[in-house]
């Protein structure tokens, strides 16, 4: 079975390590690759042979922040259809609305609890076989105020 690539775009090494630990709990159908910023992510995407199954994109990064990166990805025809979930520590409605308006699939508040992150990732990845939208809606119901679907 072909491994599905999940791309995490985040500049925070602690958040990257947290996601890597959570993905270690997944089966081998998923591989997490990381880019430590928007420019690096765009370079990686241009060099990839196949599209990632999903992108987690941190909102707050220096240089090319998550919002600018999302805008760039959605403007580029090769990347426009990639499913992107914005991830942030902020619960401000303005950020949630901005993610929706720029074309993100969903917005997640980064959990501090490891079990919550594993739960979120497992449910999201389980949906990549054809039920992503439904699984995102299920996640929104299970974690109100932490996950928002557009």
CATH code: domain of residue 136: 3.40.50.2300
Quote the CA–CA distance of 139 and 98 in Å, as a whole number. 20
Q: Are strands 30-35 and 4-9 parallel, antiparallel or unpaired?
A: parallel
Residue 1 has pLDDT above 60, yes or no: no
The pLDDT tens digits for 115-139 are: 999 999 999 999 998 899 999 999 9
CA-based torsion, 91, 102, 126, 35: positive or negative: negative
Quote the CA–CA distance of 77 and 15 in Å, as a whole number. 29
Domain of 18, in residue numbers: 4-149
pLDDT value at residue 3: 87
- How many domains is the chain partitioned into structurally? 1
Residue 108 C-alpha from the chain's centroid:
8
Q: Are 107 and 85 in contact (CB under 8 A)?
A: yes
pLDDT value at residue 78: 92
């Amino acid at each position: 079975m072909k491994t599905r690539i999940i791309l995490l775009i985040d500049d925070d090494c602690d958040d990257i390590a947290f996601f890597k630990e959570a993905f270690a709990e997944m089966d081998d159908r998923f591989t997490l690759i990381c880019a430590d910023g928007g420019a690096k992510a765009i370079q990686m995407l241009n060099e990839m042979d196949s599209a990632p199954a999903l992108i987690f994109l941190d909102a707050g990064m220096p240089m090319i922040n998550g919002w600018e990166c999302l805008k760039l990805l959605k403007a580029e025809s090769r990347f426009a259809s990639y499913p992107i979930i914005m991830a942030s520590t902020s619960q401000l409605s303005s950020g949630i609305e901005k993610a929706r308006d720029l074309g993100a699939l969903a917005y997640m508040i980064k959990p501090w609890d490891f079990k919550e992150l594993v739960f979120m990732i497992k449910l999201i990845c389980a949906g990549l076989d054809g039920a992503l939208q439904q699984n995102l809606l299920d996640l929104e119901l299970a974690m109100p105020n932490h996950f928002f679907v557009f």
